[in-house]
Amino acid sequence: MENPEKIKEAAAVIAENPTGGMAFTGAGISVESGIPPFRGSDGLWSKVDPSFIEINQFLAAPEESWKKIRELFYDHWGQAKPNDAHYRVAEMVAKGYLKGIVTQNIDCLHQRAGAPEDKIYEFHGTLDALVCMKCSASYRPDRSLLDQNRPSCPKCGGLLKPDFVFFSEGIPEKAFTNSFRLAEECAWCLIIGTSGEVMPACDVPRSAKRHGAKIIEISTEQTAFTRSITDIFLCGKATEIMNALAQELKLS
């Protein structure tokens, strides 16, 4: 894990502006909860063809796409539980350190760790809702809907789609606007577990940097952020670093 002096340095930046932070999280924060990253040599897309969540492919063959969506995202990911990193981030929100969390993840683990819904900006959407492609009605992903070969809207019979961003779709406007607003207002940005390569999400911390924020990055390896905008790089697992940071800040 990262040396104690680096942890102290990061804690000092946070303590200097104790209500001015934002968190920006990616797949790396959820790896220790058993959810694999999408990219990289061990990523999901190295094992599974991602075309089943390309929007045009989904519309053309919904039963085929839904079979994989159900298996990968709901049957497997639905069992995942928050880890210590999620809980420490939620504590930082509760203590007022973090104004909000911008997450690229769709797994809802920040919510399950206790972070309030109105402080979480899900840049790529969520698994926790199904949306009708015809009438826009929204539903919880109950098994009565998920277990249908072609999940359909109880109101109009239209095709239901998980409310996360498929390939060839745009970013939800509200999440996009709120994420960049937070980036422009924060004094420091805590990046946890992301490669810094997925556009346009990766421009959120870059926007924070352009507006004068200090960048603290937690990752098991150097990233595109490390080489360009990071001020303090904390190398290690998200749970270990966040627990050490929480101890230094005396969160508990």
Residue 79 reports pLDDT greater than 70 = yes
pTM for this predicted structure:
0.95
What percentage of the chain has pLDDT greater than the value 90?
A: 90
Mean pLDDT score of the chain, rounded to an integer? 95
CATH class of 1-34+82-124+171-252: alpha beta
Peptide bond preceding 116 in cis form (omega within 30 of 0) = no
As beta bridge partners, residue 100 has 22
Architecture (CATH level 2) of domain 36-79+125-164: 2-Layer Sandwich (3.30)
Q: Which residues are catalytic?
A: 124
Residue 149: pLDDT over 90: yes
Query: Of 45-49, 80-84, 121-125, 176-180, which range is least confident?
Result: 45-49
Residue range 191-220: mean pLDDT, rounded? 97
Where b means 16+ CB within 10 Å and e means fewer, 74-86 reads: beebeeeebbbbb
Where do the structural domains in the chain lie, given as residue ranges? 1-34+82-124+171-252, 36-79+125-164
The least confident of 17-31, 41-55, 62-76, 122-136 is 41-55
